[in-house]
Amino acid sequence: MRLTARLLTSASIAAFIGCLGIAPGIASADTASDIAQGKKLAFNKKKGNCLACHQIAGGTLPGNIGPPLVAMKARFPDFEKLRAQIYDSRVNNPNTIMPPFGPDVILTDSEINKIAAFIYSL
């Protein structure tokens, strides 16, 4: 019994709780940073340039080729499906005019993750 108590140190408990996503202070700081960086990338004309085609809250001079990006959690309850849509929208619609950001290496995987986090927060 004492051996079990020694194995459950505060560090191991914190690591376990973090893996479960129960430590919002740690996770939310990373998420907030990713969302902020994702917004910068999405609005950057040399990177995501999402505003060229989409209306996005906080953006100026939005395009109207793509749908407005609102209520994204309702439209994409599964975050991974939203990320996949940004990565390569041709999978769901071969006739899309949305650039294949991942396959054409317009954005890195890390940049796509950050943009997806921002878009998901809308």
What domains are defined for the chain?
30-120 (1.10.760.10)
Would the pLDDT of 9 be above 60? no
Please state the rounded mean pLDDT for residues 96-108: 95
Note the pLDDT tens digit of each residue in 26-62.
345 568 999 999 999 999 999 989 999 999 999 999 9
pLDDT at 99: 95
Instruction: State the Cα–Cα distance between residues 24 and 40, nearest whole angstrom.
Output: 24
- What's the pLDDT band for 10 if we cut at 50, 70, 90? very low
- Write the CB contacts of 114 (distance below 8 Å, at least 6 apart in sequence): 34, 35, 37, 38, 41
What Å distances lie between residue 99 and 35, 47, 93, 103, 111, CA to CA? 21, 11, 12, 9, 15
- In this structure, are residues 115 and 42 in contact, taking their beta carbons and an 8 Å threshold? yes
- E strand residue ranges, 36-97: none
